[in-house]
């Protein structure tokens, strides 16, 4: 291990859309900044997830950065919901425009970050033993960036091609004539299955539980729309700013049963036909709190699945029975259900016949042995806290973050953890998420103002007060009450059967509105950060 350390003012970990904006902001503010990134390029989610069919569920122009109108004007999105290659190009364009790559160390996986009280700095170590030291450690490690394989016997035994969607290779992968298995039917699985089914010789989908999916209705952006979009910058900005979760869709300001059945049906039909998350985040305001309302909406979507899938046995397999519409992440689809009408596609329920083993030639369930040329694991991520857990983060007196969060995360406004001074989290637990870039622009600006505040006053240490953490954590838990989404197992409630110990529901997400979150965090700053302790 090299004993030399590189010293900077600010260390950022993660070169996704969050980390590179933080690098830009901190550098603009006059700090020396280094960004450490495990991957070989910028983009984060859009660097790693190059699986077939990978694309936005947010409208492209609502997802790209909005901090600069000039930047907004310079980039022309090709599609209303861009596919991964375009988003990766976009993030590279931003990084190049601002010359950010010169301060990024690629292929650098951070394995440890230890607080050093004596020097009031973080000592950060990479997998290959390089070291950095900085007063401020800013984590931008991603909410969905720690991929998980299923915990099944023999997962390394398969001799054919095997891929995880979140670690998809850069080389071309073809499916023509191949016998392909896809394990997993979450948002990623749905996108992958739809694309692979187009060319695979035979596709077998292994489904543990179905999800409620909604048509994305993507299309190219026509030249005349480009001009309209450019003119709409203020409106897009404003709409994202004001909506509950920063999307262009806003909650419908009525309860489900305020409308007569025919009107309700008409409204749901209209939202089903609109692009993107309309039916999810633009639905009746009581959809996720009133069981009867949720059932009515779920029944409507079940009807759509029955209409679209010809074989009633298969359509019943595709209709979720254990959770209502919108209570788990709703995958957006472009012809997903019709895939099951194809003769080359088979759906296998691994709830009924569990996978017992991955073998050298395929997959063996409790009922059958299957031979495959390729297995694709669309088995997702150890969400929200997973990337933190994979780093040995130690605060005051060597306290491990993983231990501190053993019973669930505790944070102050999702940015700080008591006992981990000068560590500032972006897109960590308990912060506002939604249409994520909108939330991160706010968080990055907030964090940058905090470290500028400290520099101006020659302060070298900031920590959250225990009472502030307790109050915010209680508030987050309170907000989560009554939400049907917190009554089901999903990555959003901290459940991942593929990760040891992640079998107890936790409240990892803030369920309030983004405007309320911003108002609260603005108040913290306006009141001179009285909820934090400085030295
Ligand atoms: C397939 C997919 C589709 C999505 N679609 C949408 C969408 O339509 N709308 C939306 O709002 N959100 C979407 N998301 C969520 C998405 O994660 C966020 O929108 C956003 O990309 C998060 O950006 P980030 O920079 O915070 O994290 P990421 O993009 O995940 O970047 C984190 C980076 O940190 C790096 N990193 C992590 N740990 C370490 C370490 N120890 N050392 C060094 N580097 C490390 C990773 O390599 C990664 O590059 C999607 C997620 C996925 C997986």
Residues 6 or more apart from 135 whose CB is under 8 A from it?
A: 9, 10, 120, 121, 122, 422, 460
pLDDT tens sequence across 437-484:
999 999 999 999 999 999 999 999 999 999 999 999 999 888 888 888
Contacts of range 363-372, beta carbons closer than 8 Å, 24 or more positions apart: 363/181, 363/183, 363/204, 363/206, 365/206, 370/181, 370/204, 371/179, 372/158, 372/160, 372/179, 372/180, 372/181, 372/204
Query: Tokens 């996986």 appear where?
Result: 109
pLDDT score at 1: 47
pLDDT score at 2: 53
Q: Is 419 in the pocket of ligand 1 (CB under 6 A)?
A: no
pLDDT tens sequence across 161-207:
999 999 999 999 999 999 999 999 999 999 999 999 999 999 999 99
Q: Is 53 in the pocket of ligand 1 (CB under 6 A)?
A: no
Nearest CA to ligand 1 atom 3: 56
Q: Is 435 in the pocket of ligand 1 (CB under 6 A)?
A: yes
| CB 279, CB 270: distance < 8 Å | no
Which has the closest alpha carbon to 451: 118, 22, 68, 65? 22
What does the alpha-carbon distance between residue 473 and residue 70 come to, in Å, rounded to a whole number?
38
What does the alpha-carbon distance between residue 396 and residue 114 come to, in Å, rounded to a whole number?
9
Alpha helices in 75-144 (DSSP H): 84-97
The residues that bridge with 181 in the sheet, in sequence order, are: 204, 375
Ligand 1 geometric centre to CA of 201 (Å) = 32
Ligand 1 atom at shortest distance from the alpha carbon of 49: 1
Strands 355-358 and 374-377: unpaired
Q: Is 23 in the pocket of ligand 1 (CB under 6 A)?
A: no
Q: Is 244 in the pocket of ligand 1 (CB under 6 A)?
A: no
Three-state DSSP class for residue 218: coil
Ligand 1 geometric centre to CA of 148 (Å) = 14
Ligand 1 atom at shortest distance from the alpha carbon of 54: 1
Nearest CA to ligand 1 atom 35: 14
| CB 485, CB 509: distance < 8 Å | no
Q: Is 246 in the pocket of ligand 1 (CB under 6 A)?
A: no
User: Which is it for the CA torsion 182, 187, 190, 192, positive or negative?
Assistant: negative
Ligand 1 geometric centre to CA of 352 (Å) = 33
Q: Is 44 in the pocket of ligand 1 (CB under 6 A)?
A: yes
| CB 8, CB 135: distance < 8 Å | no
What does the alpha-carbon distance between residue 46 and residue 56 come to, in Å, rounded to a whole number?
10
**Half-sphere exposure in the Cβ direction for 285 (13 Å, CA):** 10
CA 372 to chain centre: 30
What does the alpha-carbon distance between residue 518 and residue 526 come to, in Å, rounded to a whole number?
12
The residues that bridge with 121 in the sheet, in sequence order, are: 116
Query: Tokens 């009107």 appear where?
Result: 263
The residues that bridge with 7 in the sheet, in sequence order, are: 133
DSSP secondary structure, 48-93, as one string: H---TT-B-SS-HHHHS--S-HHHHHH---SBSS-BHHHHHHHHHH
Alpha-carbon separation of residue 257 from 101, 261, 274 (angstroms) = 53, 8, 21
Which has the closest alpha carbon to 109: 48, 194, 181? 48
Beta strands in 306-408 (DSSP E): 332-333, 345-349, 355-358, 362-365, 369-371, 374-377, 392-394
What does the alpha-carbon distance between residue 26 and residue 34 come to, in Å, rounded to a whole number?
10
Counting as low any pLDDT under 70, the low residues of the chain are 1-2, 491-492
Residues 6 or more apart from 333 whose CB is under 8 A from it?
A: 190, 191, 194, 213, 214, 215, 216
Q: Is 154 buried (19+), middle (13-18) or exposed (0-12) by CB count in 10 A? A: middle
Pocket probe for ligand 1: among 54, 114, 141, the residue whose CB has the most ligand atoms within 8 Å is 141
Q: Is 139 in the pocket of ligand 1 (CB under 6 A)?
A: no
Nearest CA to ligand 1 atom 12: 436
The span from the first CA to the last CA of the chain, in angstroms, equals: 33
pTM comes to: 0.96
User: Which is it for the CA torsion 523, 528, 531, 532, positive or negative?
Assistant: positive
Q: Is 143 in the pocket of ligand 1 (CB under 6 A)?
A: yes
Q: Is 130 in the pocket of ligand 1 (CB under 6 A)?
A: no
What does the alpha-carbon distance between residue 85 and residue 49 come to, in Å, rounded to a whole number?
10
Q: Is 20 in the pocket of ligand 1 (CB under 6 A)?
A: no
What does the alpha-carbon distance between residue 501 and residue 516 come to, in Å, rounded to a whole number?
32
| CB 441, CB 65: distance < 8 Å | yes
Q: Is 42 in the pocket of ligand 1 (CB under 6 A)?
A: no
Q: Is 413 in the pocket of ligand 1 (CB under 6 A)?
A: no
Q: Is 37 in the pocket of ligand 1 (CB under 6 A)?
A: yes
Ligand 1 geometric centre to CA of 47 (Å) = 9
Residues recorded for the chain: 535
Query: Tokens 């500028």 appear where?
Result: 452
């Amino acid at each position: 291990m090299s004993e030399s350390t590189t010293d900077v003012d600010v260390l950022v970990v993660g070169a996704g859309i969050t980390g590179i904006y933080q690098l830009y902001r901190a550098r603009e503010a006059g700090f020396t900044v280094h960004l450490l990134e495990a991957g070989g390029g910028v983009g984060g989610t859009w660097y790693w997830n190059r699986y077939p069919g990978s694309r936005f569920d947010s409208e492209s122009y609502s997802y790209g950065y909005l901090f600069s109108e000039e930047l907004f004007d310079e980039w022309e999105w090709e599609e209303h919901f861009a596919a991964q290659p375009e988003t990766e190009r976009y993030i590279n364009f931003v990084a190049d425009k601002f010359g950010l790559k010169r301060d990024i160390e690629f292929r650098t996986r951070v394995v440890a970050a230890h607080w050093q009280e004596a020097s009031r700095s973080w000592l950060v170590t990479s997998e290959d033993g390089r070291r950095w030291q900085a007063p401020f450690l800013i984590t931008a490690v991603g909410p969905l960036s720690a991929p998980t394989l299923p915990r099944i016997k023999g997962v390394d035994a398969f001799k054919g091609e095997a891929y995880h969607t979140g670690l998809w290779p850069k080389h071309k992968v073809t499916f023509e004539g191949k016998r392909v298995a896809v394990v997993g039917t979450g948002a990623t699985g749905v996108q992958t299955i739809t694309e692979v089914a187009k060319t695979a010789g035979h596709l077998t989908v292994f489904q543990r539980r179905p999800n409620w999916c909604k048509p994305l209705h993507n299309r190219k952006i026509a030249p005349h729309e480009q001009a309209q979009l450019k003119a709409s910058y203020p409106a897009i900005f404003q709409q994202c700013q004001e909506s509950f979760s920063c999307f262009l869709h806003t909650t419908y300001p009525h309860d489900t049963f305020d409308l007569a059945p025919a009107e309700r049906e008409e409204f749901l039909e209209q939202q089903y036909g609109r692009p993107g998350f309309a039916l999810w985040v633009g639905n009746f305001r009581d959809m996720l709190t009133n069981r009867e309302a949720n059932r009515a909406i779920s029944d409507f979507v079940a009807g759509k699945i029955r209409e679209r899938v010809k074989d009633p046995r298969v359509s019943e397999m595709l209709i979720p029975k254990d959770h209502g519409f919108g209570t788990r992440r709703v995958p957006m689809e472009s012809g997903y259900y019709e895939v099951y009408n194809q003769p080359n596609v088979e759906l296998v329920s691994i709830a009924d016949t569990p996978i017992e083993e991955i073998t050298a030639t395929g997959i063996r369930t409790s009922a059958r042995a299957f031979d495959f040329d390729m297995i694709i694991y669309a088995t997702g991520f150890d969400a929200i806290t997973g990337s933190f857990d994979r780093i040995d983060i130690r605060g005051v007196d060597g306290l491990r973050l993983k231990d501190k969060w053993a019973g669930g995360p505790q944070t102050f406004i999702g940015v700080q953890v008591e006992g981990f001074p000068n560590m500032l989290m972006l897109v960590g637990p308990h912060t506002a998420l939604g249409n994520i870039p909108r939330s991160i622009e706010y968080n990055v600006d907030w964090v940058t103002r905090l470290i500028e505040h400290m520099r101006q006053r020659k302060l070298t240490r900031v920590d959250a007060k225990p009472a502030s953490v307790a109050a915010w954590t209680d508030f987050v838990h309170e907000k989560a009450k009554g939400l049907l989404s917190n009554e089901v197992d999903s990555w959003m409630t901290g459940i991942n059967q593929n990760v040891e110990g992640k079998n107890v529901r936790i409240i990892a997400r803030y369920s309030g509105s983004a405007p309320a979150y911003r108002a609260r965090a603005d108040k913290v700053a306006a009141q001179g950060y009285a909820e934090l302790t400085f030295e």
